[in-house]
Amino acid sequence: MSRPKPMSGFPEFLPAERMVELHALRILSSTFELHGFASIETRAVEPMDQLARKGEIDKEIYVVRRLHAAEGDTDELGLHFDLTVPFARYVLEHAGHLVFPFRRYQVQKVWRGERPQEGRYREFLQADIDIVGQGTLADHHDVEIPLVALDAFEKLHVDLGIPPVVLHVNNRKLSEGFYRGLGIEDTAAVLQRVDKYDKIGPDAVAELLVTELGLETGQAAKCVALAGIATTDESFVDRVRELGVEHALLDQGLEALAAVVRVAERQVPGRMLADLKIARGLDYYTGTVYETVLQGAEKMGSVASGGRYDALASDGKNTFPGVGYSFGVTRLLAPILGRGELTASRSVPTCVLVAVDNEESREVALRTADRLRRRGIPTEVAPKADKFGKQIRYADRRGIPYVWFGAGENDEVKDIRSGEQVGADADAWTPPAEDLFPRTVRGPLG
């Protein structure tokens, strides 16, 4: 068999890179649980009619077909392209067993058939949090969700060295109310053009609004002026009012966004930005929307996003409004790992290699390894009873810092980095804390 070629858009990490990813996932999961979110997992496939019903993303869906499906089998399934659509189905299916407001987090792979590029993949890992109510959901959750997200990002920054973030926030009611106040009916079309603001600039957006949507020059100018407003405090309200547009929905959006920014300014000053060009592409968002960018790496675009949805899930009798947020774990980590900016201090979890004197004494080595493992020290036994020099070189190649010698009496352990070798008891010896498990470090393995 010839050497296989990698598939574009389906990233696979080497062991040291995977350790960094696992570290990030532990940070995210523990943060979510500290805030009271319970973990769930949903199936990988959903009916096509469910996947294609929102957000105009049907061209991105990977269709699943059974090779030996019976003739006339019309079941059409697709791999989920995000975790929100399957979560909506999950809530409807299990509503009788859930307590609302229901707080969930979910870490799973998703699939999208889009053109691969840095930060965008066909298979990638997401980590989502959502708070869902039955009938109603209090507005204060709109600020709770981004505070949880910022807590998680701060830990990723401190523990992994990932750059700090700024969380951009807007409200769809604010934008839609503003457009309606200008006499514009097709507000969704305006949002789609405004969403290109950062890519093509304000003048190009204004031109699109005039040439493609038929807006008057004055209307387009005010839409662009709204999109250009960004503040870290509530001063955006006065700047919107200065544009002279009035509408009841605009008032609701301004009030809701001001409430979110007000709390965030006190809790995490400078970390949230009211950015009135944020739209979010999917059409199930109805209120507050979020996008998050790394400071100094703004060209990557948003690495995490979300928002409020008031009618994502409904069974005809009950509606389940919610607010959620999605971390693009692969989108965040893959470029950083690919550039060698983060790695692990070693490529294996093993802390100690127990040397084998000869094959007849392997059972003794296995017992020593078991004693160390019972005390929480990652340990493996040498694969061959080679000369000790070869066993030490084997440990060195794998990045294992310690080699253990002995048959249960007069044992010694060697730090192969410094060459220091000391007597040790498998029931008492403990390595330094920084050596016990691999650590995330800056730069490539030495």
CA dihedral sign, ordered 32, 35, 39, 44:
negative
Please indicate if the annotation marks 394 as binding a ligand.
no
Closest residue by Cα to residue 79 from 47, 105, 54: 47
Contact (Cβ atoms closer than 8 angstroms) between residue 272 and residue 264: yes
Confirm whether residue 439 is marked as ligand binding. Answer: no
Helix (H) or strand (E) holding 113: none
Question: Is residue 89 annotated as involved in ligand binding?
Answer: no
Q: Is 58 annotated as a binding residue?
A: no
320 within 8 A of 314, measured Cβ to Cβ: yes
- What letter would DSSP give residue 117? B
- Whole-angstrom distance, CA of residue 14 vs CA of residue 337: 10
83 in a labelled binding site: yes
Torsion of CA 289, 294, 299, 304, to 10 degrees: -40
Paired residues of 169 in beta bridges? 274, 290
Among 38, 40, 30, which Cα is nearest to 87's?
40
Which residues are within 8 A (CB) of 210 and not within 5 positions of it... i.e. 6 or more apart? 216, 217, 220
The amino acid sitting at 297 is A
Residue 370, annotated as binding a ligand: no
CA torsion 276-277-283-286 (nearest 10°) is 0
Residue 90 known to bind ligand: no
Residue 71 CA to residue 65 CA, distance in Å, equals: 12
CA distance 369 to 366: 5
Residue stretches of the annotated binding site for L-histidine: 82-84, 112, 126, 130, 280, 284-285
Query: Which residues fall in the annotated binding site?
Result: 82-84, 112, 126, 130, 280, 284-285
